[in-house]
Structures are given as structure tokens and as C-alpha cells.
Amino acid sequence: MTVELSRHDDLVLIKLNRPEALNALSFAIIKEIGNAIDEVATSDARAILITGEGEKAFCAGADIKELRNRSLMDQKRGAELGQSVFAKLNAAPMPSIALINGYAFGGGLELALSCDFRLASPEAKMGLPEIKLGLIPGYGGTQRLPRLIGEARALEMIMTGMTVDAPEAELIGLVNQVVEGNLLEAGKTFASRMTRFSLPALGFARDAVRRAGETSLSEGLKCEAELSTLAYQTEDAEEGMDAFEAKRKPEFKDA
């Protein structure tokens, strides 16, 4: 298998294991990633970590050989496959964290952008270089990158195909943190800051924040009111408020 799952306490690590090709994405691997996300999404895991095998690459992008000599409809279906698989991370009930351990180019960066958070090693380099091939990103990069770092910076990255190193990526908000030392352990520590909370509440919060980049302020506030109302209806909300009043640690049940 080129996509491996491993359990780390209450976390699940999805690892792309194709180091000889810098963990490049074939269509078969994209489908494997989708199956892995589906499996984790229905488990009792509290967070998803995603990384690549080896020290050189998180994921160097699409397998270019597969993109040649395909029909118009096949090209469209390929883009839709990548988009639908990466969107599974947005729909998963637990947060996701990309551990960018090296190159993250093209589809590899788009995979990382689909995660809720991104941590990077100091040696990591990121970019959407499709323009250099006469192409544009097709797995969500043109939509997620400007929402994350702003339109002007996203346009610069996409229209020049420039590479961004880890310190600059942190500066512009492309990654949450540059990690000196063990990236997996840092990912576990980062995840532990939220895994003790209610998964439904985390999901409501994530959905509300995402609406901020997709709608007007007035519509976003309506969405926030609806989602916060739903949060109040959960058993975890009752437990959280009871625990606060009793001055004890809450025991959330994700219900």
C-alpha cells in the first residue's frame, strides 16, 4: 500500500509511502487517500495527521505521466476526483493536521491546504508550480489558498509558480508553525490542544469560521447564531456548563 494508516493513542496518522517518487499523487493514490479518510472518519480517532514518507517530500504533486494524452472529460474527472477526495477532510468529524516534512508542491500543497492546520519542518518548501507547465491548480488550490493567505499573495504564488520556504510560509499564514525537531511529536502536541474538547463543538466552530470567507458578515452572523444554537442542544454543552459550575474537568462524550 502506498497510503498507510497507523494509530497513535487517540490520533491516526495517514502517511503517503512512495518516497522513490517523492510521494507523488497518482489517481490510484488519491483514491487510497479517500479510502483512508473514510476509514478514519468513522473511527473513534480524535484527530487526523497527514505526512509523507522520508525526509525529502510531503508530496511533490501529481504524477505528470498520468496527466498526458487524456480526453477532455477524463481531465475534468481527474480534477473532480482530487477535489472530492480532499474535501473529505473538511467533512470529517475530527480536525486534520498536515505535517509538511519536505517538498509540498502542486497537488501536495493542495492536500495540505485541505487540512485544518499545517505544521512544517524548517526545510519544507511549498508552491503551486502548475503555471510553469501551462496549467493551473485543479485540486482546490485556486480556492483554498486565497482564503488562507489573501488574494494578492495567492495570485503571486499561483501566477509566478514561486516556491515559498517554511519561514516565509509561517510569516504569511500558510503554515501555523515551523517545527524544530520531531515533526510527528509536534503534531501530536498540537492536536492535544483540541482533542480533549467535544468533537461536535469543534465541528460547529470550524464550519462557522469557514463561512466567514464564503459569505457576507450579516449572513455569517446568521450562520454563527444557528450553529451556536445547535451546540447548546448537545449533551456535551450540558456537561461543559455543569463542569464549569462544579469547578471540575468536563468529560465530553461527543454527543
Q: Active-site residue numbers?
A: 110, 130
Q: In this structure, are residues 145 and 118 in contact, taking their beta carbons and an 8 Å threshold?
A: no
What distance in Å separates the CA atoms of residue 153 and residue 158, rounded to the nearest whole number? 9
Distance, CA of 242 to CA of 225 (rounded, Å): 22
DSSP three-state, residue 173:
coil
Nearest 5 degrees, angle CA 150-CA 152-CA 154? 65
Burial of 107 (0-12, 13-18, 19+ CB in 10 A): buried
First vs last C-alpha separation in the chain: 34
Q: What is the DSSP string of 79-99?
A: HHHHHHHHHHHHHSSS-EEEE
| 169-173, long-range: CB < 8 A, 24+ apart | 169/120, 169/124, 169/126, 170/120, 173/148, 173/149
- Match 503534531 to its residue by C-alpha cell: 187
Specify the amino acid at residue 237.
A
